[in-house]
Amino acid sequence: MYTVLIVDDEEPVLESYSHMLAEGIEGFRCAGTARSGGEALREILEKRPDVVFMDISMPGMDGLETIARVHESVPSTVFILSTAYERFDLARRAIPLGIHAYLVKPVTRRVFTETLDSVRERLERERPGRERASGESPSSRSGAERDLMEEAFLRDGITAPLTHDRWAAFRAALNLESDRGLVALAALDSVQADSLRAFGRANEILSLKYRFLFGRHLGLSVYFVSGEADGARFERDLCAALDEAVGRGTPRWIGAGSPASAPDFSSSRFGALERLQSLRQRSDALVRHRVGLTALRQKLGFTAAEDFRSRFAEWRDDCFAAFPFEEAKLRLVSALTLLLDDVTGLYRAGGGGPAETELDPAAEAAPLRDAAACERWSDPAVAALAGLAERERSANLPVPLVRALSFIASRYHECLQLSDVAEEARVSPAYLSRIFGEYLSVSFVEYLTALRVETAERLLRERSLSVKEVAHAVGFQDPNYFSKAFRKRTGLSPKAYAGQDRFDAAPSQPEDNPE
């Protein structure tokens, strides 16, 4: 039976992990919990657990510093990082410590169980003296030794130059036929896919075309493709294999470096990591762009014109920070065209009626040559559209709905129920629910949640409150539910959203060895 220590400064996380272990995960039991780096240090040295789930961000000594201080004393302990947001720069600090996995909270039971399954396999390989339920033959021992060498090579042999003797040992043990090879890194959206099973299926397909080694490290799938492979082609082939394994709709990020020569494959790994980071940054930007524009269209006419103009300005600034100028300008033109159509119906089948505005986004934006010019043009255009939408939609809304929206705007941060709002609007809850769907195309709960999340975005950008404080400030009593609702609407966790430099002039450049 392997022992597990859980280290986290959040009580719900300690309870969740402990509960999953108590319910029974074969071969593991909880040895205890710790709430700080100092407490973890004492528990690890005293209890010598086999596995430690370690939170990164804790008061005082953080998780990586704690691991570094006990790394030499407990070299056989398996450490698993656990954090509420993804950061590539942590890998540079984590790689020398031999971290087994990198989990992003909230951690589902499936991910928790799969991680411990992989830990069990590693412990059984590394501790052949332990009794195994299935027995062990000489051939299985040599297979385990090869697996251990493969894991060591993918963890350490591609991150820094090897000695010639060490490379010769790896090449012989792993039956590599060439002194050349490239490194590729890949990740799937773990919320939408079972990563271990998906990559297993994809690798069966890839093995028909490539000779490669495969492993998992710091939450990424790691490939070493032996020989003179083409990185771009390998990316396409792996993407196609994943399409067959999980379907085309599952987000994935794949980066391959250029072929490198032994004994130093670190340049290929860095190239793969740099490309993967770039793809994930763009993917995050696309999600923010799409979700933000959808929210703007939903609020057009139901938000005061000045407030709408301010929200649009934030979305536009984020767009120009995340994309090259010409692409950002096209996205701005598309957004204004959609908003114009939402207000006037100008581009719908059958044609809209005469519009009160003469706005022509494509023609007016054509001569603009920089972001400042786009701002000067779009601000008054959006203000005019918002004013027109506010007048037209308010005139068409039934009085009870107008009362309800005004009441929600002033009391959204309280524990509001449909019955409370219906009483204020002087109608029955059933009638209010019906006109919400009829006029706004959303339910009361959806409208209230959207308003709370949008307000939370503004508070998080100000960075004056913690995530928990923001959750309570906008009316969420349960921080976990707040995180789920926020991620559903924005594509990011609240901590990830708050931690981003969203208004830099250009996306940040990768560090020397970020994850």
pLDDT value at residue 108: 86
Please compute the mean of the pLDDT values over residues 4-13 and round it to a whole number.
Answer: 90
Lowest mean pLDDT among 8-12, 44-48, 99-103: 99-103
pLDDT value at residue 97: 63
Q: Which contacts of 316-321 are long-range, i.e. CB under 8 A and separated by 24 or more positions? A: 316/374, 316/375, 316/378, 317/503, 318/285, 318/288, 318/289, 318/292, 318/502, 318/503, 319/289, 320/371, 320/374, 321/502, 321/503, 321/504, 321/505, 321/506, 321/507
Lowest mean pLDDT among 87-91, 134-138, 307-311: 134-138
pLDDT value at residue 402: 81
Please compute the mean of the pLDDT values over residues 353-358 and round it to a whole number.
Answer: 57
pLDDT at 233 over 90: yes
If you average pLDDT over every residue of the chain, what do you get? 81
Domain ranges of the chain: 2-126, 151-279, 300-387
Please compute the mean of the pLDDT values over residues 353-359 and round it to a whole number.
Answer: 61
Please compute the mean of the pLDDT values over residues 455-460 and round it to a whole number.
Answer: 84
List, for residues 405-442, the tens digit of each pLDDT value: 888 888 888 988 999 999 999 999 999 999 888 887 88
HSE-CB of 58 using CA atoms within 13 angstroms: 26
List, for residues 465-500, the tens digit of each pLDDT value: 888 889 999 999 888 888 888 888 777 788 877 764
Report the C-alpha dihedral over residues 444, 449, 454, 460, rounded to 10 degrees: 160
pLDDT at 168 over 70: yes
Helices (H) and strands (E) in the chain, counts: 21, 10
Assign a CATH topology to domain 2-126. Rossmann fold (3.40.50)
Read off the pLDDT band of 514 (50, 70, 90): very low
Helices (H), 129-265: 138-152, 164-173, 195-206, 231-246
Please compute the mean of the pLDDT values over residues 47-69 and round it to a whole number.
Answer: 84
pLDDT value at residue 190: 56
pLDDT at 94 over 70: no
Please compute the mean of the pLDDT values over residues 126-147 and round it to a whole number.
Answer: 49
Lowest mean pLDDT among 135-139, 292-296, 362-366, 428-432: 135-139
Q: Quickly count: other Cβ atoms within 10 Å of residue 409's Cβ.
A: 13
pLDDT value at residue 272: 94
Read off the pLDDT band of 182 (50, 70, 90): very high
- Note whether 272 and 255 are within 8 A (CB): yes
Please compute the mean of the pLDDT values over residues 52-68 and round it to a whole number.
Answer: 83
pLDDT value at residue 92: 47
List, for residues 250-262, the tens digit of each pLDDT value: 778 899 999 999 9
pLDDT at 174 over 80: yes
pLDDT at 353 over 70: no
171: left (phi over 0), alpha (psi -120 to 50) or beta: alpha
List, for residues 187-227, the tens digit of each pLDDT value: 887 555 567 788 888 998 888 888 899 988 877 899 999 99
| 202 CB-contact burial (10 Å; exposed 0-12 / middle 13-18 / buried 19+) | buried
Lowest mean pLDDT among 95-109, 121-135, 277-291, 360-374: 121-135
pLDDT at 150 over 70: yes
pLDDT value at residue 335: 93
Read off the pLDDT band of 395 (50, 70, 90): low
Read off the pLDDT band of 140 (50, 70, 90): very low
pLDDT value at residue 250: 78
CB-based contacts of 458, cutoff 8 Å, min separation 6: none
Q: Quickly count: other Cβ atoms within 10 Å of residue 67's Cβ.
A: 26
| CA 53 – CA 219 distance, rounded (Å) | 14
| CA 70 – CA 65 distance, rounded (Å) | 9
pLDDT value at residue 499: 61
Tokens of 191: 């919320």
Read off the pLDDT band of 173 (50, 70, 90): confident
pLDDT value at residue 394: 65
Read off the pLDDT band of 512 (50, 70, 90): very low
- Note whether 234 and 225 are within 8 A (CB): yes
DSSP state of 510: P
Name the pTM for this structure. 0.50
CATH of domain 151-279: 3.30.70
Read off the pLDDT band of 374 (50, 70, 90): very high
From the list 65, 97, 102, the residue with the least C-alpha distance to 87 is 102
pLDDT at 273 over 60: yes
Tokens of 116: 């411990």
